[in-house]
Structure 1
Amino acid sequence: LLYRAKSLDDILNRITVTRANFTIQNMLKSCELEQENIDKILSVIESNPYDCVYALSDHQKKKLFDKVYPYIKKISKQQEEYIRGYLNQFEFNGKIAVCDVGWHGTIQNALQDIFEENEIYGYYIGKKEKRAKEKVKSEAFLFDNNYNKWIMREVMSAPDLFELFFLSTDGSARKYARDVSGKYYCVQAKPEQSEESAEDVIALQNAALKFVKEFKKLDNAINVQMNSCVCEAAFSAFINYPSADTIKHLKEFSFLNVESHSMVAQHSFGYYILRPKNFVSEFLNNGSKSIFLKSVLKLPLPYISIIDFLKKFDKQQ
């Protein structure tokens, strides 16, 4: 869909932008440009490839967009053709349900834009809409912008940790292609986790499934009303006051979607006292903030409230 962009901001609204300093070079790679073409673009623009795209002036953004767009348009139009071919192999038509953990309905929105003739409905564990455009046909079980906001506040304080329970250990979809026989297929990226970390994720998910099966037997006996508040209660207690044992177990889990490879802080309290900017940067980039804070402060504190306070310093929230 990037070929429909009219400006650099349109491109940034479409691609996955990490919170860490998102550079011009990061953006070009996210658009799936060949390295040869990236080098050509970087050789003719005035900006430094390591400049943050959000720090560029309107004039710089326009000049960069004018250089980048011809390359993006060619790839993007081909990819729209390929994803149509790929999904049509699975009779992707009529009324369609998209099921996902959450949060912004990005996949559903993109599919609806490509397949305008279809009626696509979204089912999510939690939904957090960013823009009015994203108010498509959807519903969420745990929370949305108008429902159970306190649950949203807790889950979104540690989305990486929450997503661990649903995370695939396969590589993400990079692009779509067509073989010599005309069949379309998905090209996957390398897995984001190490082999050891993937084993830990699978063990965690198996333990969660075991708990659900055992709880279901208990529920048959005592008839618990399984509403969204009941389902989130244990996670709420877990994330508000993480134990030292929890920190120890999660220390080795790796996440490569941010510059830090861990949910746990990499330095001591003393280190951050001397380097407050490092603390703020690592805190804002971390996807499991209560785990991060507990690993630094060690104390049994109301971490969700602390997170709410510290988020006031986040200019990108």
Structure 2
Amino acid sequence: MKNNNQYYNFGYNKFGPFLYGFSRWLDKNLNKHAYDKVFFFARDGYMMIKATKLICPNDLGKEYVYFSRKSICQALLYDTNTLEDSLRYISKEKYISYGKLLEYFGFNYKEAKNICLLNEIDIDEELEFTNILNNKTVKKIYSLLKEKINKKSKNQANLLKQYLKQISFKGNIAIVDIGWYGSMQYYLEKFAKMHNIPVHITGYYVGIEQSDNVIGNCYGYVYSKKNLKRKKDLLCCFGLLERLFQSREGSTLGYRLEKNKVVPTLDNYEYKDNKELIQHIKDMQVGALNFVKVNLSNKLENMDLINPLINAGKSPTLSETKLFKDYYLMDGSKIFFIPQKAIYKYSIKEFVHALSNSPWKTGFMKAAFKIDFPYYKIYSLLKK
């Protein structure tokens, strides 16, 4: 299905086969078990449930629900008593800003900004995660805010418990998400145990290296704990993959009551003011779903379906990096996929920091240096 739109074509030719293969694999595995419900997690489950419902239009019991690492962690924090204990659920990156830390503790941007002003802190200042427990300012802020953190957390725990009851999150269920380490499954298992919710969770993911803390089974389409051969293939471009799968809505911050019903509180969508980027994403997703529709009767099951997208992620052409020149993730501040200026305008330290943060490292290097070079091999060496 040819189209002059380069974003549509990328979606059809690269993302489409990957989405189709994942959905066929998922459907095949779900049919082996009698799950009471199958939950697709916002936001990464958006394209997954659309494609799966194309493949099995009459299949009931599938539901798109609102969870995020943040929303579940919020509901667990009240059970912690020390700074070290409170950080057990945070994503361990190399750096974390004060704004991101305060967001993790349950404060919205306006609240975090006020806290930083009162304590004469730059909200965007980044801290090395390995030194965070020894940081006197962090210790002081946690001590001052501990009571508020626990109160906010207790409120979210009550709402999350109601939300789980509302969606019938019990019995033998399956969850579907993009994956990586299974932390969401672990947090839900922990929360369910704390609140005596009778549930057994099995996770289905694009790729998963199951944490030892996870109780239920985890299955991965591209890789899993028993076979991690292609893990680096995905993680070198995880941001690109997530953006293709994600819905065009903000992430789940928490929950609130609305007319006696628990509803998610969503963050602002990162690209809400950029109609051009939104249209690009729509075009790629329409292209991918059209690939699924065209091949419904073919029942392709070859694992080679993953290669067009993975190869674009590992060894992108310069024109492919240009498609995503304005794309970024929000993690306290904008973290761009590829460089936003010519390489000679970076200091060495600034360039290394930008590359380290990039969610598409091979694309970042290709866009920066432009020449043909084994960037994926460099990435693999850096990850050893």
Give TM-score, length-normalised by structure 2. 0.69
CA distance in 2, matches of 1:259, 1:94: 40
1:284 Cα offset (Å): 0.5
Alignment of 1:72-87 (within 5 A): 72-87=149-164
1:2 matched to 2:77? The reply is yes
1:297 Cα offset (Å): 1.0
1:142 Cα offset (Å): 1.0
1:2 Cα offset (Å): 0.8
Alignment of 1:117-132 (within 5 A): 117-129=198-210, 131-132=211-212
Aligned residue type for 1:226: N
1:246 matched to 2:320? The reply is yes
CA distance in 2, matches of 1:58, 1:246: 43
Identical counterparts, % of pairs: 23
Of the three residues 185, 188, 200, the one matched with 2:266 is 188
Alignment of 1:114-193 (within 5 A): 114-116=191-193, 117-129=198-210, 131-134=211-214, 136-147=216-227, 149-179=228-258, 181-193=259-271
CA distance in 2, matches of 1:256, 1:24: 14
Give TM-score, length-normalised by structure 1. 0.82
Can you list the C-alpha shifts for 1:164-209, whole angstroms capped at 9, x where unaligned?
A: 2211111111111113x43222111111223332221121111122
CA distance in 1, matches of 2:238, 2:170: 32
What is the match of residue 256 of structure 1?
330
Structure 2: gaps of 5 or more residues = 1-75
What is the match of residue 226 of structure 1?
302
Change (3 A) 1:59 1:189: closer
1:91 Cα offset (Å): 1.8
1:261 Cα offset (Å): 4.9
The answer to which structure, 1 or 2, has the higher relative contact order (CA under 8 A, 6+ apart) is 2
Change (3 A) 1:97 1:62: same
Whether contact under 8 Å (2:200, 2:216) holds in the other structure is no
CA distance in 1, matches of 2:263, 2:286: 30
What is the match of residue 283 of structure 1?
355
Whether contact under 8 Å (1:269, 1:296) holds in the other structure is yes
Change (3 A) 1:198 1:48: closer
Change (3 A) 1:17 1:258: farther
CA distance in 1, matches of 2:117, 2:345: 37
Aligned residue type for 1:266: Q
Question: What count of residue pairs does the alignment treat as equivalent?
Answer: 299
Change (3 A) 1:36 1:277: closer
Higher mean alpha-carbon deviation, 206-215 vs 66-75, is at 206-215
Structure 1: gaps of 5 or more residues = 313-317
CA distance in 1, matches of 2:269, 2:92: 19
Q: By percentage of residues, which structure has more strand?
A: 2
1:241 Cα offset (Å): 2.2
CA distance in 2, matches of 1:76, 1:53: 25
CA distance in 2, matches of 1:37, 1:232: 41
The Cα RMSD (Å) is: 2.8
What is the match of residue 205 of structure 1?
285
Aligned residue type for 2:284: L
Whether contact under 8 Å (1:41, 1:67) holds in the other structure is no
